[in-house]
Amino acid sequence: MGSTEKQVETNGTPVDVSIALKASDLKSVPSLAAEIQSLGSSLRDSDYNGRQALLRKARALVNALETPRETMIKHTWAEPTNASAIAVGVEAGLFDLMAKEGAPTKVDDIAAALKADPALLCRLMRHISAMGYIKEIGPDEYESTTFSKALTIPIIGDGYPCVLGGCFAAIAHLPAYLKRTDFVMPNSATDGPYQSAYNTKLNFFQYLQANPPWGEQFNHHMGGYRQGRPSWMDADFYPVQERLIAGADPSPESPFLVDIGANVGHDINEFLSKHPSAPGRLIMQDLPSIIGQIKPGSIDDRIERMEYDFHTEQPVKGARAYYMHSCLHDWPDDVCQTILAQVTKAMKPGYSKFLINENVIPSTEANWQTSGLDLMMMSLFSSKERTLKDWTRLLEGGGLRIVNVWEHGEGVEALIECELA
């Protein structure tokens, strides 16, 4: 399996192999280390944007110190297998047990409690520890970390098995798919990389629902995806009182906020908790299979649950605001136009707003969360995360105009406020 430097073939490239065996940018290390020291000395946990700036520098330092060979091994061996090992641990109850123990625990004891093969757990836990996600105390003895404890929370842990099972094949298949299609941008919602990888005619959401528990795990994953970042409902992000509540019809029967494609109600429930004085009706809409997954007591009783497919006519007319969070990025532009048409036909001119809570990719220095999600969208949906130019073209083509784009820092989804053109 191994190869020496002298045996390496270059396939005619003028780049010498030695470039892959030295630190990628050693000369930048001192300045990056100094910047990290400066940024970290006064960092507060509540300073989201300051932490993101420090993370960017920390990743730059790691990239500078690693050799290209080490980075290649990290990408192709270490990171995929680490995600897989964590997914196994989630499914087996490994991290729940470690968190309950609250102290260093021998692998043999863990295996006995889980009724698992100790040799298997040794290998899985060794790699998870080597990657820094559980703490090695001694030979075959490990302790929880903050991260591994967080894996016991469904909105964090459930992302691993559902993404590994229901997404990774499409991501791994993308190079072969694009080569076969002569590197043309995927643009079919029904015949793209996902359908090719999983040999299915179902779309991503249909496939997950047809293969439980991935559907429920993905709902949890979406709950985790939205956590820990500034929310558009916060006072310092979007002026809800000034832009929505002021001027709204105060009558109880008037629709105020319609959350379209609401999943199990994460967003609209947060909105009500932060703005309990909002007038009128608050309505969440999604497919029957999703609405049926809402757990008792998980959303406020004031929120109306409505079964609805956003490809069909919008039944709620003249609401103050129609809202979509991470829905349009699931669809190519041609399908988005049909979705937008259902919204615009229901809007009341001069009164209704359409609020889109999605990424707006900046022209430079895109955040890794956004750029990574963009390629996920390509692999899973033949769709994309959009730039401001993309959004303007899409929305103006759908009979809307952008009033403002409200943003709050790196890697945070924007709120695009629209009205009828």
CA gap 178, 394 in Å, rounded: 25
- Going by C-alpha positions, the residue among 62, 79, 185 that lies closest to residue 127 is 79
Per-position pLDDT tens, the chain of length 421: 554 444 555 566 788 899 999 999 999 999 999 999 999 998 998 898 899 999 999 999 999 999 999 999 999 999 999 999 999 999 999 999 999 999 999 999 999 999 999 999 999 999 999 999 999 999 999 999 999 999 999 999 999 999 999 999 999 999 999 999 999 999 998 999 999 999 999 999 999 999 999 999 998 998 888 788 889 999 999 999 999 999 999 999 999 999 999 999 999 999 999 999 999 999 999 999 999 989 999 999 999 999 999 999 999 999 999 999 999 999 999 999 999 999 999 999 999 999 999 999 999 999 999 999 999 999 999 999 999 999 999 999 999 999 999 999 888 999 999 999 9
> How far out from the chain centre does Cα 357 lie?
13
Task: Return all residues near 27 (Cβ < 8 A) that are at least 6 apart.
Answer: none
Strand-by-strand arrangement of the 400-406 sheet: 303-307, 281-286, 255-260, 321-325, 353-358, 414-420, 400-406
329 classed as catalytic: yes
- If residue 358 lies in a helix (H) or strand (E), which one and from where to where? strand 353-358
Which three-class secondary structure state does DSSP give residue 379? helix
β-strand 105-106 against 321-325: which pairing, if any? unpaired
Task: Return all residues near 208 (Cβ < 8 A) that are at least 6 apart.
Answer: 162, 166, 214, 215, 218
**Which is the catalytic residue, given 221, 266, 325, 329?**
329
All domains of the chain in start order, with CATH: 13-66 (no CATH), 71-152 (1.10.10.10), 163-224 (no CATH), 228-420 (3.40.50.150)
- Using CB atoms within 10 Å of the CB of residue 399, give its burial: 0 to 12 exposed, 13 to 18 middle, 19+ buried: middle
Q: What is the DSSP string of 17-75?
A: GGGGGS-TTGGGHHHHHHHHHHHHHT--TT-HHHHHHHHHHHHHHHHHHS-HHHHHHII
- Rg (the chain; Cα; Å): 24
